[in-house]
Amino acid sequence: MDLGVGGFSEEQFREACAELQQPALSGADWELLVETFGISIYRLLDQQTGLYEYKVFGVLEDCSPGLLADVYVDLDYRKQWDQYVKELYEKECNGEAVVYWQVKYPFPMSNRDRRELDHEGQKIHVILAQSTPVPQFPEKSGVIRVKQYKQSLAIQSDGKRGSKVFMYYFDNPGGQIPSWLVNWAAKNGVPNFLKDMTKACQNYHKKT
């Protein structure tokens, strides 16, 4: 498996792109959790941790794919609209860009990569992120370091003014946080995050 920038393979980008076209929910016990704002959220129990993996499918209206991708990766702007962010910045480590996140509950440092793929003549934005150990970011006293985090996001035009979206998400915050509390936070946090991101798109002015 060939790894690209950030330690992600071409296959991982293609998988996110493929799932945007055809949701992969068969063969596992994915259950529909909630439908809201034109978005369907599914979850799958991870037996080892007692936590859930999430898949999100749907359309965000009035948010073009390019705009949505820009808002998602603009860290300075993210600090303004993402209510969960406490500290957020990017730093180059060993030739790779690493993002440090600290939010209102534990969060990781993550590698992140963004690409634009072509599917049958249509542009698709794919953004991948995963937790990564980086010696340049020592753990802080009183802050729990997340060891397991993975997210993928694929975006394409809905044929109108909006974006068709697929997102996969899993994180294990560790510490002494009960699994039911983590699952409750994710169940409520994902819809709120999408709602906030849609509003952020409407208020975003691309920097020149």
| Gyration radius of the chain's alpha carbons | 17
**Look-up: residue for tokens 């949505």?**
68
Other residues' Cβ atoms within 10 Å of the Cβ of residue 147:
14
Per mean pLDDT, which of 57-71, 72-86, 125-139 is the most reliable? 57-71
- Tell me the per-residue pLDDT of 107-144, one tens digit each, with 9 for 90 and over: 444 445 545 566 656 788 998 887 776 555 556 555 55
Of 66-70, 84-88, 152-156, 160-164, the least confident: 84-88
Q: Can you give the pTM of this predicted structure?
A: 0.77
- 30 band by pLDDT with thresholds 50, 70 and 90: very high
Handedness of CA 157, 203, 200, 196 (dihedral sign): negative
Q: Is residue 4 helix, strand or coil?
A: coil
